[in-house]
Structure 1
């Protein structure tokens, strides 16, 4: 089935099942297609690899792609003064990625103060960083210089970050469209195979989607190989992402972008620390997840994201003080990091199909590289004592902590909020 038609069909399925769910809260069905899950579905943000005081080692878990946001390599760091470049950190990152065979996604943005249209304006970063550049030629030169230096090494570039938030971007949509146009043309001139990702907005609120729609209306839809969105539902459970995915797909379809891949270029939850690291970055109203809830949320978000048609999922973040998968000072894995790695092991190389919700219970069909039919299962409510259908011919199951358990058809299994892998003969 052609990609565009496949996305239209998937969007229609999601619409129908959410109408059903709203009617009787009984059944939701999702299907992510016939392609196997690749390692680059699993992305991370990593902050402290080159940090001067709180340095973290390279992640000791498998993932496929790395988004360099909050990694000190935006425009304001790379060209702090006009014509004076500092590529020391980005060179380190590119070499690390090459060594570990991980792809890089580099966001382009945050104007240096010297280039900013409003150099004294406050932002979530430095003065003037959120404003569009005063002179588009400086932007063009920045894009060209970076893309030329890293030709053949960085293939994915994203426009800015969370542009509906004035702390990140304070300009208008029309100005951002011009930056997109210049960046798109410049990147393709240097390397036609470069993938250019649209600017992201974040969350399910009254501001994000209208901002993005206005950007598309102004012509931004013409300059995107991939659509980005930050599927934050940090005050809710992972299943809440699904309605937001539908809204985004509906919007992108309206502007002829249904055939473009959809990437979740940033998402995560507030995950409690145990090593005394201050949790200072959480937004008011977010859920604070303790160990067991955090690992369950990580696993369910990754599974459901893929089942809903998201092609990449960049977790925020590996070593963040508030949303990290590790304890920032002790460097120990949190249970959430083990969950991330376990879901990677379950999904990569397999085909995920037909995730279905019936009341509080979710099951997903999974076919591994040998064609063996497995299932993922969990509940969003209280623990359930569940007897699997005899037609499944189950022989064992694996819990999220990696433990294998033997069983047989007709034997009860306790389903919890932590996904498990059910294995047939």
Structure 2
């Protein structure tokens, strides 16, 4: 069978095995049903491997199957046929699994008329990738060899070409040789041009957004070794007792800690500093830099404003008088000068629960407050209001409008709220959101360090995670921050117990998740980060991620290390010849065998090398 036919049969097999309809795949991949139909039936070859990988990954393909798909797709590019042919059935072979059908079955009508399946949930409720079948126990066939990851000291060596016996020569007349040489040259040139044309063209049947992006090898980013930012591992305190985490952390944020504006100044010029005093003393005793977050306008400052969901009845609007705002900011910064390290100028915007005013109004409040903080406590860091719900275009417009109105003029740091698009999505899904945020900042002309200061409002209503997932997700929350190159990540929250992930209840012991975060902090104490990347671009399986570091210690004073994990399931990767040990988040250490294979899972591990950093 021609490679294009085998490619189509394998895609069809994967689709059938996954149980996905064309409608479900269209939603997952953003490739039109008509195109999916042609690719799975063999009447068209996908224009690039990115499209093949997108379909196969959505169907839960294993690493070996992805390798086979790439080989078939590459071979199909130089077929003499036009690729517009019907899929032909044939007996199963070693590299082609059997297919239950070679045309649309009676149970599944043609894609153009395919109604959504009765038992098929809408996109928001589709099972997250984390629930797809793992690939740990799948074995590559004999002729499939895993690709070694890049060496920490350079690119992976290319495999040695297989030795072939010399071909027997047969002398031909000069005229025949000339003709053959010309035909071969034309064929090679034609094949090369055709392949370039096929790789770069767009499939007319696909929507523009479905076309795969340019395939680029290498890490997402790389840089000279830079220290992991001091205070990177932050937590938001959800208690007013003054108690602090009993496991190591890097910074604290005061919100939902009974320190809202409406509580500190319950009536004009009458202050209750008791809660905030306890928290500031607690943070200083623990040696933790404190971030105070402004928010919750008192009812007396905006009587007609919409109510915010807090018992003392604050408003989600801006104060009616900027003089009241200026006076409160000045009172707080004056009292805690030199004791509070940073100020976030509003908790969350835009939001019906926290701020319903315009971006222009908030920008004016931020400019005024930033100026007061810098004048009153020059050493304090001014963090602009936390912009949230940035999956939504309306919030992206709010950020751009806030920037255009001069909101970032007096700020040292920009703040955002990172969260998964849907509850239960793996933490790595936030990487897409960080790219949206980066693009929005670029469009707005903003270039400031970024802190993640919270989550989605809905977090308090999300279901608790299992013990295993809670630990894995807590650690990967911070790793996503490193991947996004954020300077600080505040986990929401510490002290609360009605959340998907609990780190520690007040007066209780740290949870397993907190202890795993503690181990990650130990790994990175004194480390310098050099790069992050994921998937085939860095010679890893499609759902595998890594960040690389210059680690302290060793005969040369430093050595190289890689933290690696998967976002779903498991995958086997060969260990580099310089790997000496693998650490897990339970504190265990395993010696690495040269040429051995490491089973990556959703729990990150640290691979250390004997190579000097």
Q: Which TM-score band (shorter chain)?
A: 0.7 to 0.9
List aligned pairs for 1:288-327, cutoff 5 A: 288-323=464-499, 324-326=501-503
List aligned pairs for 1:11-410, cutoff 5 A: 22=213, 29-31=220-222, 34-50=225-241, 57-118=243-304, 121-125=306-310, 126-203=312-389, 204-233=391-420, 235=423, 236-258=425-447, 260-267=448-455, 281-283=460-462, 288-323=464-499, 324-326=501-503, 328=505, 331-358=508-535, 359-369=542-552, 370-390=557-577, 393-410=578-595
Residue 80 of structure 2: aligned partner: none
Indicate conservation of the 8 Å contact 2:494/2:505, yes or no. Answer: no
Shift of residue 155 of structure 1? 2.6
Indicate conservation of the 8 Å contact 2:297/2:319, yes or no. Answer: yes
State the secondary structure of the residue aligned to 1:114: helix
Whole-angstrom CA distance in 1 between matches of 2:441 and 2:559: 35
Match of 2:598 among 403, 413, 418: 413
Whole-angstrom CA distance in 2 between matches of 1:329 and 1:246: 35
Whole-angstrom CA distance in 2 between matches of 1:250 and 1:356: 19
- In structure 2, relative to structure 1, the CA distance for the partners of 1:149 and 1:319 (3 Å cut) is same
State the secondary structure of the residue aligned to 1:281: helix
- In structure 2, relative to structure 1, the CA distance for the partners of 1:402 and 1:25 (3 Å cut) is farther
Residue 273 of structure 1: aligned partner: none
- In structure 2, relative to structure 1, the CA distance for the partners of 1:341 and 1:217 (3 Å cut) is same
State the secondary structure of the residue aligned to 2:419: coil
Q: Number of aligned residue pairs: give it.
A: 387
Indicate conservation of the 8 Å contact 1:32/1:308, yes or no. Answer: no
Indicate conservation of the 8 Å contact 1:31/1:354, yes or no. Answer: yes
Indicate conservation of the 8 Å contact 2:240/2:258, yes or no. Answer: no
Indicate conservation of the 8 Å contact 1:39/1:63, yes or no. Answer: no
Would you tell me which structure has more strand in proportion to its own residues? 1
Whole-angstrom CA distance in 1 between matches of 2:589 and 2:580: 10
Whole-angstrom CA distance in 1 between matches of 2:303 and 2:271: 20
Higher relative contact order (CA 8 A, sep 6+): 1
Shift of residue 109 of structure 1? 2.1
Confirm or deny that 1:424 pairs with 2:600: no
- In structure 2, relative to structure 1, the CA distance for the partners of 1:244 and 1:142 (3 Å cut) is same
Instruction: Give me the CA root mean square deviation.
Output: 2.6
Whole-angstrom CA distance in 2 between matches of 1:421 and 1:267: 27
Shift of residue 267 of structure 1? 3.7
Indicate conservation of the 8 Å contact 1:73/1:89, yes or no. Answer: yes
Shift of residue 334 of structure 1? 2.5
State the secondary structure of the residue aligned to 1:245: helix
Shift of residue 44 of structure 1? 0.4
Whole-angstrom CA distance in 1 between matches of 2:602 and 2:267: 51
Name which of structure 1's ranges 28-37 and 366-375 shifts more when overlaid on structure 2. Answer: 28-37
Whole-angstrom CA distance in 2 between matches of 1:20 and 1:420: 34
The TM-score, its normalising length taken from structure 1, stands at 0.84
Name which of structure 1's ranges 181-190 and 317-326 shifts more when overlaid on structure 2. Answer: 317-326
- In structure 2, relative to structure 1, the CA distance for the partners of 1:267 and 1:62 (3 Å cut) is farther
The TM-score, its normalising length taken from structure 2, stands at 0.59
State the secondary structure of the residue aligned to 2:494: coil
State the secondary structure of the residue aligned to 2:445: coil
Unaligned runs of 5+ in 2: 1-209, 536-541
Indicate conservation of the 8 Å contact 1:197/1:226, yes or no. Answer: yes
Moved over 3 A (4+): 19-28, 30-33, 267-270, 326-330
Name which of structure 1's ranges 122-131 and 395-404 shifts more when overlaid on structure 2. Answer: 122-131
- In structure 2, relative to structure 1, the CA distance for the partners of 1:184 and 1:34 (3 Å cut) is same
Whole-angstrom CA distance in 2 between matches of 1:299 and 1:144: 37
Whole-angstrom CA distance in 2 between matches of 1:66 and 1:352: 23
Indicate conservation of the 8 Å contact 1:36/1:348, yes or no. Answer: no
Q: Deviations over 1:98-150 (max 9, x none)?
A: 1111001111221111112525x321224342121111111111011110011
